[in-house]
Chains A and B, each alone.
Chain A
């Protein structure tokens, strides 16, 4: 079945570490997105990519980095510059801008 796979489901990060969250899709979608969700809040866009080797900053890109070397993959790195990284991270994809989004099951990141 086609879908989006995020891994790991739970991730613990020590102060000062960089960590990378994986997002892989086999839906043949061109566009991919990373969102952050804090408890009881809505979603905020971190980065998005419309095509391979191109990506754009969203509302809260500071302290995060991404790459899009393959159509299927859009990994997110949470760097040590992100001062409050504890959150739920969701990856999504869509055929293009004006189509429905499909979401992965998310990664819960906790700083220890």
Chain B
């Protein structure tokens, strides 16, 4: 089955810093999503991005499907950006999303 690897596993930054989170996947996909899980457990869908580039405020994401990776950019980090960022991928032939292990981000004031 598809393997999903996220890096780095942990990231500690000062408020105002920029960061790049990476998601590598081992096979062709037609569904790729980025999620943020806050410290209270709520999962928020950040992007549905099987290919191309999208931006939403301070966050942007790029997926290069032919090279099997996706990047999530966070600019001017705020303490509320802390939490775990998950990448999840899916294929037509399988209804399930395959989840990465996540990147735990801590933003210090």
Contact = CB atoms under 8 A, between A and B. Distances in A.
B48 A100 contact: yes
Dominant secondary structure at the B interface: strand
Question: Which of B33, B47, B95, B99 is most buried by chain A, counting CB atoms within 10 A of its CB?
Answer: B95
A98 interface: yes
B45 interface: yes
Question: Which of B43, B47, B102 is most buried by chain A, counting CB atoms within 10 A of its CB?
Answer: B43
B90 interface: yes
24 contacts: A37-B41, A41-B101, A42-B99, A42-B101, A43-B88, A43-B99, A45-B96, A56-B95, A59-B96, A88-B41, A97-B90, A98-B90, A100-B33, A100-B47, A100-B48, A101-B33, A101-B45, A101-B88, A103-B42, A103-B43, A103-B45, A105-B42, A106-B42, A106-B43
Contacts of B100: 42
Interface of A: 31, 37, 41-43, 45, 48, 50, 56, 58-59, 88, 90, 92, 97-103, 105-106, 108
B102 A42 contact: yes
Interface of B: 30-31, 33, 35, 41-45, 47-48, 50, 86, 88, 90, 92, 95-97, 99-102
